[in-house]
Amino acid sequence: MPLHDVLYGRMGALLSWCRQQNGSGLDYQSCPTSKDCEDNAVDSFWKRVSVQYSVDSSGVIYIMLNGSEPSGTYFKKGFLADYEIPYLQKDKITRIEIWVMHEIGGPNLESCGEGSVKILEERLQELGFQYSCINDYLPVKLLKCVDHSTHPDCALKSQVNILTQPCCFSKTTRLTLYRTLMSSVGAARWCSINA
């Protein structure tokens, strides 16, 4: 389940709050970014929530990364690296599954065992976690191919081609497929934006 879907994540997802510089009230117009103030209210909230999310996680953990991201797939300095991975409770985690997804028609810049993904794999190994890494996890790729059914990246085996035909998926069906996929992964961490 993504962080934004748990209670403490949902509570803060739409909030933006800052104290006025020269007053005791709240400034609803603008908040300092992490460049302006490293410990600003919004970042501080998400750092603490990310830690709690990791402490509360159990079972199989799914991490989805964008292997087409030009600035890197796994950031060595970021929420996942700094506030989630270090706080996972080894005794509560069965295994970790990394899904490196590539954009349909986009570049395959990093994959399992390469670049920053390899750094993540090495870190998980050092921490003693059992993990596996899968490039372009098929159920997610099928979901992405719904909108790109004629793209060569979506030319799959004939028995699954019917799943990618535009005639077969209404918006309601796409939403149902998405919900089914997300509910089937359990405690998933949605990282396609490189949190």
pTM: 0.70
SS3 97: strand
> Concatenated DSSP letters for 46-87?
HHHHHHHHHHH--EEEEEEEETT-TT-SS-SSSHIIIIIGGG
The answer to whether 64 and 191 are in contact (CB under 8 A) is yes
What CATH code is assigned to 3-154?
3.40.50.720
Q: 91 to each of 95, 140, 183, 189, how far by Cα in Å?
A: 10, 29, 23, 19
Q: Which of 117, 161, 158 is nearest to 141 (CA)?
A: 161
Per-residue pLDDT of the chain (195 residues; tens, 9 = 90+): 666 666 666 666 666 566 666 777 776 666 766 677 777 777 788 888 889 989 999 999 999 999 999 998 999 988 899 999 999 999 999 999 999 999 999 999 999 999 999 999 999 999 999 999 999 999 999 899 988 888 998 875 533 444 444 445 556 655 665 555 554 443 333 333 333
Distance between CA atoms of residues 69 and 106, nearest Å = 9
pLDDT for 45 equals 82
Q: Which of 194, 190, 195 is nearest to 1 (CA)?
A: 190
Q: Please state the domain extents for the chain.
A: 3-154
pLDDT for 109 equals 96
- Residue 134 φ/ψ, nearest 5 degrees: -125, 130
Token look-up 């990246």 returns 153
Distance between CA atoms of residues 80 and 184, nearest Å = 22
pLDDT for 39 equals 72
The answer to whether 97 and 134 are in contact (CB under 8 A) is yes
SS3 107: coil
Helical pair 138-145 and 171-184, crossing angle rounded to 10 deg: 160
Tell me the H-state helices in 98-168: 115-126, 138-145, 158-161
pLDDT for 79 equals 87
